[in-house]
Amino acid sequence: MINKPSIYVVKLRRNLLPILFLAFTFCLLIFSKSNLPAVKSGLLLWANSVVPSLFPFFVATELLMHTNMVSQLGNILTPFMKPFFNIRGEGAFAFIMGIISGYPVGAKIACHFRQNNICSKEECERLLSFTNNSGPLFIIGTVGILMFKNTTIGILLFITHLLACLTVGLIFRYWKRNSHTFLQNMISNGSHQQKKSASFSNLGEILAESITNSISTILLIGGFVVIFSSIISILKASGILNSITVLLSPLFQSLSIDTNFIPGLLTGLLEITNGLNSISSIACKKLSLNILFTAFLLGFGGISILLQVWSITSKTDLSIKPYLYGKLLHGILATFYTYLFMTVFPFFNFDL
């Protein structure tokens, strides 16, 4: 009789995922009326925003991987990357492309480095913590101009996002600092694999391979966008999101924060684009609150992107932990830097 509770716990753990998947399937049927428009909205979001902004960068990144750009950056930027981030110079390629392109390019390149033995396991995990970021096109264009109708807000959010990213990289230079793998020593001796080098003779083959790999990644992102659009729709239709809002309302009221931010924040923790759109549309006398919540969500990225990165890292021996810790820290630091800028510089104070 004493062992029965522990047996029930073990059985629950074993059956938790099947139960969740079954519940999700039933919810798709029960809430199909509200779910179908949400799926269509997710597909439109992916087709109109994600594909045009990310797909060309995916192809460009794949093409650059077939050149000597990575090794050239490594030779030039090792004096910068090693002291600051404890990563060999080749890691600068992941950092630069992650900043320019946006989610999940930085993580994809870090995993590519690991698969091709360009960086050690520890270095790739450090890269994961700070190179997978929102791009300037999304922050300034989509968030600043389209959502907030203000370019200056977009610029502010991008500056603080970049500062937070660099700070996370500096902090995570100590990640597994004293851990050395056999592969790390092997890499130090220059023994790593390279992709087939691009030339005019094999340009068609390289371009076809780059497009194929990019299509695979963009379809993966589309799948996550659609699934999380469904999940958010189910949470709203079932009243779960409203129940959580009611539970959190006393906490927000005690902090003198408008409770209208709760649904948008919860949505953004699941899927960033829907959450940011909701938060930016809330009418509030203190616009700084909208901006601060936006800064946090841009830094954290949401569970949808976390699972996208997890699906990419699962093909390697890299741990997802540095990414999760790094993004939580990124969100907190981005919020702090944004508050600091709005306090110190009057032209960044948008309170009405």
**Who's near 237: CB < 8 A, 6+ residues apart?**
31, 34, 35
Q: What percent of the chain has pLDDT over 90?
A: 21
Share the mean pLDDT of the chain: 83
Cis omega before residue 18 (within 30°)? no
Q: How many CB atoms lie within 10 A of CB 211?
A: 15
Q: Of all residues in the chain, what percent carry a pLDDT higher than 70?
A: 88
Residues of the chain with pLDDT under 70: 1-13, 177-201, 285, 351-352
CA 309/CA 235 separation, integer angstroms: 24
pLDDT at 11: 63
The answer to whether residues 108 and 217 touch, using CB atoms and an 8 Å cutoff, is yes
Residue 5's pLDDT is what? 58
Q: Distance (Å, rounded) from C-alpha 228 to C-alpha 246?
A: 22
- For Cα atoms 129, 133, 134, give the angle at the middle one, nearest 5 degrees: 160
Give the pLDDT of residue 26. Answer: 87
Q: Supply the pLDDT for residue 190.
A: 42
pLDDT of amino acid 195: 55
pLDDT digits (tens, 9 = 90+) for 24-61: 888 888 888 888 888 888 888 788 877 877 788 788 88
User: Helices (DSSP H) in 238-320: which residue ranges?
Assistant: 240-254, 261-270, 272-280, 287-300, 303-313
Q: How far apart are CA 68 and CA 197, in angstroms?
A: 8
Check residue 47 and report its DSSP letter: I
H or E stretch at 170 = helix 151-171
The token pair at 22 is 């079954």
b/e for 133-144, b at 16 or more Cβ within 10 A? bbbbbbbbbbbb
pLDDT in tens, 244-299: 999 999 998 998 888 889 999 999 999 888 888 889 888 776 778 899 999 999 99
Whose structure tokens read 């930027």? 77
Radius of gyration of the chain (CA): 22
For 189, the token pair is 């001796």
Residue 6 has a pLDDT of: 55
